């Protein structure tokens, strides 16, 4: 493939039950493109966690997935409150999610660690009151 394939999704911050739609759509596309199941799984998990984070914390955002010859890039961009302490947020078990979110089975403090675990590189740019951009790369 010579031209990169770019998929862009609006993540709806108001609709918690639709969270995951973008990840499922990406999974389908990657499966259709013939990627190995393990790569599809890593992209899906990393993206889903990002989607959930955008819904829980940031009122939604935009997810862009770019399929290149040697890697898949995932960029998650939101205009939420930003992350106050990235180091702390990266720790397994740390979460600022509310009790309501925990009742739904989230807020285990595994989102960002899962994203890091499933990608080859992850970069977080965040500014309080402005928003967060997370860039992840999965090498093929």
Q: Which residues lie near other proteins (CB under 8 A)?
A: 16-17, 19-21, 23-24, 27, 37, 41, 44-45, 48-49, 52, 104-106, 108-111, 113-114, 117-118
In whole angstroms, the minimum distance from the beta carbon of 52 to other proteins comes to 7
Q: Between 69 and 72, whose beta carbon lies closer to other proteins? A: 72
Q: Between 114 and 125, whose beta carbon lies closer to other proteins? A: 114
Q: Between 16 and 79, whose beta carbon lies closer to other proteins? A: 16
In whole angstroms, the minimum distance from the beta carbon of 112 to other proteins comes to 10
Termini Cα distance of the chain: 13
Return d(Cα 79, Cα 132) in angstroms, integer: 6
Q: Classify residue 69 as exposed, middle or buried by CB count within 10 Å of its CB (0-12, 13-18, 19+).
A: exposed
Q: Do the beta carbons of residue 6 and residue 50 sit within 8 Å? A: no
Q: Classify residue 101 as exposed, middle or buried by CB count within 10 Å of its CB (0-12, 13-18, 19+).
A: middle
In whole angstroms, the minimum distance from the beta carbon of 79 to other proteins comes to 23
Q: Which residue, 64, 60, 55, is CA-closest to 111?
A: 55
Rg (the chain; Cα; Å): 14
Q: Between 79 and 101, whose beta carbon lies closer to other proteins? A: 101
In whole angstroms, the minimum distance from the beta carbon of 134 to other proteins comes to 16
In whole angstroms, the minimum distance from the beta carbon of 117 to other proteins comes to 7
Q: Between 42 and 67, whose beta carbon lies closer to other proteins? A: 42
């Amino acid at each position: 493939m010579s031209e990169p394939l770019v998929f862009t999704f609006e993540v709806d911050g108001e609709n918690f039950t639709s969270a995951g739609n973008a990840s499922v759509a990406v999974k389908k596309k990657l499966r259709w493109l013939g990627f190995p199941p393990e790569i599809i799984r890593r992209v899906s998990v990393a993206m889903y966690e990002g989607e959930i984070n955008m819904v829980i914390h940031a009122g939604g955002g935009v997810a862009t997935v770019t399929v290149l010859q040697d890697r898949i890039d995932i960029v998650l961009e939101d205009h939420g409150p930003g992350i106050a302490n990235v180091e702390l947020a990266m720790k397994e078990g740390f979460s600022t999610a509310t009790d309501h979110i925990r009742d739904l089975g989230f807020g285990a403090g595994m989102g960002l660690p899962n994203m890091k675990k499933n990608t080859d590189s992850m970069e977080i740019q965040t500014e309080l009151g402005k928003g967060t951009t997370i860039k992840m790369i999965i090498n093929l």
